[in-house]
Amino acid sequence: MRTQEIGKPGFRYRVDFDRPATHLIEPYRNLMNKAGCLTGNVGDCIGRAAAMDARIKNLAEGMKVVGPALTVRVPPTDNLMIHKALTLIKPGDVLVIEGGGNHSWALLGFLMVSTAQKLGVAGIVADGCVRDAQEIRKSGFPVFSAGLSPNGPFKEGPGEINYPISCGGQVVRPGDIIIGDDDGVVVLKQELAKTAIEEVDKIIQREDKRLKEIEAGMVIRPGIDEILAQKGIK
């Protein structure tokens, strides 16, 4: 997709980005609705290194999100370009924010969350702080952040929208699939979505089988001694 670019490096935005097809995202949404937590299974299928840092966590237990990333980079004390991003975002998108690494200010609060919710946004993931925690928790809208701070942001800029960012130690590109639950947040590249879902299904089936074995009395996992033997421990 060729999309309009406005501004200059450091203070610019792209009007749109390539979103993954619905048939690539829906299987993950369906599994998330069925599963307690899906991020671990997805992460295991794409190299066990796709999760954001543990500081990025949901604001309330049970908050979950699946959707394509609309990316924003802002300074630690400013949310001007987050406001602009809300004019570009589409229903089902996840707003993913790189907040500059300083967690002494909130990048957004309940007013912006309410706006996002009204627009049909799937959720927000911020490598930065938020505020109005009680109101956000009551709303049930999925917000994942690095922490809380009552300090409010300014609206001066600069910032960038719909360019690759770093969030929670992971590179996030516009259109990457964001998956978040009680265990954390995983970043799934579009090009891996089709093959990964097949592997996730297999893992879930294996885990279901193993749970039934444990319930039946086969408590110790089979094969551990064989693995140790391969490593020279006999």
| Domain assignments of the chain as residue spans, ordered by start | 5-201
Cβ burial of 87 (10 Å; 0-12, 13-18, 19+) is exposed
Determine the Cα–Cα distance for residues 102 and 229; give it in Å rounded to an integer: 47
Cβ burial of 215 (10 Å; 0-12, 13-18, 19+) is exposed
CATH 3.40.1030.10, applies to 5-201: no
In this structure, the number of other CB atoms found within 10 A of the CB of residue 44 comes to 15
Q: pLDDT per position in the chain (234 positions), as tens?
A: 678 999 999 999 999 999 999 999 999 999 998 878 899 999 999 999 999 999 999 999 999 999 999 999 999 999 999 999 999 999 999 999 999 988 899 999 999 999 999 999 999 999 999 999 999 999 999 999 999 999 999 999 999 999 999 999 999 999 999 999 999 999 999 999 999 998 998 888 888 888 888 888 888 888 899 999 999 997
Are 78 and 106 in contact by the 8 Å Cβ rule? The answer is no
Whether the pTM exceeds 0.85: the reply is yes
The pLDDT value recorded for residue 164 is: 98
Task: Look at residue 219 and give its three-state secondary structure.
Answer: coil
| Phi then psi dihedrals of residue 137, to 5 deg | -60, -40
| C-alpha dist (Å) from residue 23 to 26, 105, 119, 171, 174 | 6, 38, 22, 24, 18
The pLDDT value recorded for residue 142 is: 98
Q: Which amino acid is at 115?
A: T
CB-hemisphere CA count at 13 Å for 87? 8
Q: Which amino acid is at 199?
A: E
Determine the Cα–Cα distance for residues 164 and 176; give it in Å rounded to an integer: 10
The beta strands (E) that lie in the chain are given as 5-8, 11-14, 57-58, 65-73, 94-98, 106-108, 123-130, 143-148, 159-161, 165-167, 170-172, 177-181, 184-188
Look-up of token digits 């693995």: 227
Determine the Cα–Cα distance for residues 159 and 128; give it in Å rounded to an integer: 14
The pLDDT value recorded for residue 35 is: 78
Q: Quick one: how far is CA 79 from the chain centroid?
A: 19
The pLDDT value recorded for residue 1 is: 67
Are 144 and 180 in contact by the 8 Å Cβ rule? The answer is yes
Q: Which amino acid is at 113?
A: V
The pLDDT value recorded for residue 24 is: 94
The pLDDT value recorded for residue 166 is: 97
